[in-house]
Structure 1
Amino acid sequence: MFDPTDFPEPTLVPVNGVELEVFEAGRENAGKPIVLCHGWPEHAFSWRHQVPALTAAGHHVIVPNQRGYGNSSRPAEVTAYDIEHLSGDLVALLDHYGYEDATFVGHDWGAFVVWGLTLLHPNRVNGVVALSLPYQERGETPWIESMEAVLGPDFYFVHFNRQPGVADAVLDEHAARFLRNLFRKNQPPEPPRPGMAMIDLARAETPLGEPVMSEGELAVFVSAFASTGFTSSINWYRNLDRDWRLLADVDPVIRQPALMIYGDRDAVLRSERLTEFVPDVEVVGLDCGHWIQQEKPDETNQAILAWLDRASGRPKQVR
């Protein structure tokens, strides 16, 4: 069990017109930066099991609460959360620490941001580790539009965009229950049900499966979202079609070495064409659900450290 007081103390770092709450360890390992990017609805604290292992392996570990989360800035404009702003924050974070490039690790939405960062600022990324979410191919139809056609108006990505504020209010009202019900593992399989899944989770009285973390750990997430509300983090979803447009003219191929870690029981689908867009990728599957680095911390650490060791000997890709 992890003691939340063992996590590094944060500092507020001015970047790209906002401030990010940044948790840092291993500054004595300057020169080997690795940046860990959380997903939704998470927090830098979701990397608590990785920070000590990466620091011990000789890395300068930088873990931001990205904009919209924790004590980082929460701009009011929805468009302030598009991929240009989110990747720009990470570039500015490298500038703050004086690094030309770094290895970036992302889970869930953090993986989407890291993939996008690598496309938009390829010279600032020397390697990519993605957990759960593979590279998202940019098809001919904007992402939300495509999801709406296939999955319908109640799919939560679509609902967040088409009914702004509705889910936000429910999640804000039931923050502790929603997070308790969401951060679960080993849930029994259930047939799809009508309705909006995230709203249903926030209202469900009984959680399914087993908790991913201790009550003390969960309290860190609950406290953060009780303070911020959910709108600023949900605004990331409200930029998906804008992101689709912003990525229209970039080279879609990731040239850097990459590691893709899937949860074998994750609802997020594997990519069948990953190597077409990420040719230098290694793929690992772990026996877990969506919350990979929290469900299987030791196995996650082993996979990342072994890959870092192999990737360090390769020539840097520049374009």
Structure 2
Amino acid sequence: MFNPTDFPEPTLIPVNGVELEVFEAGPRGTGEPVVLCHGWPEHAFSWRHQVSALAGAGYHVIVPNQRGYGNSSRPTEVTDYDVEHLSGDLVALLDHYGYEDATFVGHDWGALVVWGLALLHPSRVNKLVNLSVPYPERGEKPWVEFIEDVLGSDFYYVHFNRHPGVADAVFDDNTARFLRNMYRKDEPPAEPQPGMALINLARAEAPRGEPLMSDRELAVFVSAFETSGFTGGIDWYRNANRNWHFLADVDPVVRRPALMIYGTRDVVPRGENLTTFVPDVEVVTLECGHWIQQELPEETNRAILDWLGRRGG
């Protein structure tokens, strides 16, 4: 297991009207920049296994705690967490380092931000690698309503939007238990589970599956969320419909080389029309669940470094 003391020390960097807590490694200025974007409920530390591998290969690795997470700023307005602000933070981070573009790597909600960045600021994205969450097609209905039609009103994504503050309070009151129960090498359930199962996970005493990480690693996440709370991260979900409207007039095709990494046991559905919207994409599938880069770090590193090498990075 990873020793948390081996993770780089952070720096607070002012960008786009907020401060981001940023961890970095590798040769600044001479190595090609790679920006790693975490998901929910995660932290820059979720990339701990990738930082040294990428830095050792000569990349300048930049790992922000995005707004709402860790010691980064936590604005109080829900709309401050829409895709315009989140992608704007990453653009401003490139400006801070003096980079015209970079390779962006995202997992879970971080993948959604990277997809949005490639649409809104394509000149700042050299290549992109996304894990778990495929390109989000923009259908006729706003995303929350679409998800509600398919998965029901108690599905956690819908619940976060329909009942603001409820899930936040449950997670805040049960931080250690919730994160311990979330970070498991779970097999997917035999049958679809109600969305409230995620909130109930914060109260469960006997989680299924084996732990994803050591107690020392888990303590990093617990400490971070005991400081930040969960509202900032959940507010990303509460901008889903706003993002749907915001992207209405944007060219929906990602015109950059992309690598999509799926886990065979991940409950997140694969993108049925991925190549329609991301024509220059390569797909890799690993034998794991949702927490791909943490569950199979060596395989993830190998897939990313191999692809970057073949794509000229």
Alignment match, 1:94: 94
Alignment match, 1:183: 183
What is the CA–CA distance in structure 2 between the aligned matches of 1:166 and 1:118, rounded to whole Å?
33
The amino acid across from 1:269 in the alignment is P
Matched, 1:301 2:305: no
CA contact (8 A) 1:185 1:211 kept: yes
Matched, 1:264 2:281: no
Tell me the TM-score normalized by structure 2: 0.98
What is the CA–CA distance in structure 2 between the aligned matches of 1:27 and 1:98, rounded to whole Å?
14
What is the CA–CA distance in structure 2 between the aligned matches of 1:156 and 1:165, rounded to whole Å?
13
Write out per-residue CA displacement over residues 4-40 of structure 1, whole angstroms, 9 at most, x where no aligned residue: 0000000000000000000000135634000000000
Alignment match, 1:133: 133
Write out per-residue CA displacement over residues 186-231 of structure 1, whole angstroms, 9 at most, x where no aligned residue: 4363433446122110011111100110000000000000111101
Check 1:35–1:188 CA distance in 2 against 1; reply closer, same or farther (3 A cut). Answer: closer
What is the CA–CA distance in structure 2 between the aligned matches of 1:88 and 1:11, rounded to whole Å?
19
> Alpha-carbon deviation of 1:292?
0.1
Secondary structure (helix, strand or coil) at the match of 1:2 reads coil
Alignment match, 1:117: 117
What is the CA–CA distance in structure 1 between the aligned matches of 2:195 and 2:8, rounded to whole Å?
40
What is the CA–CA distance in structure 1 between the aligned matches of 2:130 and 2:146, rounded to whole Å?
23
CA contact (8 A) 1:263 1:292 kept: yes
What is the CA–CA distance in structure 2 between the aligned matches of 1:65 and 1:188, rounded to whole Å?
28
User: Unmatched 5+ residue regions in structure 2?
Assistant: none
The amino acid across from 1:74 in the alignment is R
Q: Within 5 A, what are the aligned runs for 1:178-257? A: 178-187=178-187, 189-194=189-194, 196-257=196-257
What is the CA–CA distance in structure 1 between the aligned matches of 2:104 and 2:160, rounded to whole Å?
27
Write out per-residue CA displacement over residues 76-106 of structure 1, whole angstroms, 9 at most, x where no aligned residue: 0000000000000000000000000000000
CA contact (8 A) 1:101 1:125 kept: yes
The amino acid across from 2:240 in the alignment is L
What is the CA–CA distance in structure 1 between the aligned matches of 2:142 and 2:187, rounded to whole Å?
32
What is the CA–CA distance in structure 2 between the aligned matches of 1:211 and 1:171, rounded to whole Å?
19
Alignment match, 2:30: 30
The amino acid across from 1:129 in the alignment is V
Matched, 1:283 2:288: no
The amino acid across from 2:95 in the alignment is D
CA contact (8 A) 1:29 1:58 kept: no
CA contact (8 A) 1:19 1:73 kept: yes
Q: Which stretch shifts more, 157-166 or 22-31?
A: 22-31
> Alpha-carbon deviation of 1:3?
0.3
User: Unmatched 5+ residue regions in structure 1?
Assistant: 314-319
What is the CA–CA distance in structure 1 between the aligned matches of 2:168 and 2:261, rounded to whole Å?
30
CA contact (8 A) 1:2 1:217 kept: yes
Superposition RMSD in Å: 1.1
The amino acid across from 1:248 in the alignment is A
> Alpha-carbon deviation of 1:266?
0.0
CA contact (8 A) 2:119 2:250 kept: yes
What is the CA–CA distance in structure 2 between the aligned matches of 1:278 and 1:193, rounded to whole Å?
31
What is the CA–CA distance in structure 1 between the aligned matches of 2:189 and 2:179, rounded to whole Å?
20
Aligned residues: 313
> Alpha-carbon deviation of 1:269?
0.6
The amino acid across from 2:172 in the alignment is D
CA contact (8 A) 1:160 1:238 kept: yes
The amino acid across from 1:228 in the alignment is S
> Alpha-carbon deviation of 1:311?
1.0
Structure 1 stretches (4+) deviating beyond 4 angstroms?
none
Give identity over the alignment, percent: 75
What is the CA–CA distance in structure 1 between the aligned matches of 2:308 and 2:125, rounded to whole Å?
14
Check 1:173–1:7 CA distance in 2 against 1; reply closer, same or farther (3 A cut). Answer: same
> Alpha-carbon deviation of 1:152?
1.1
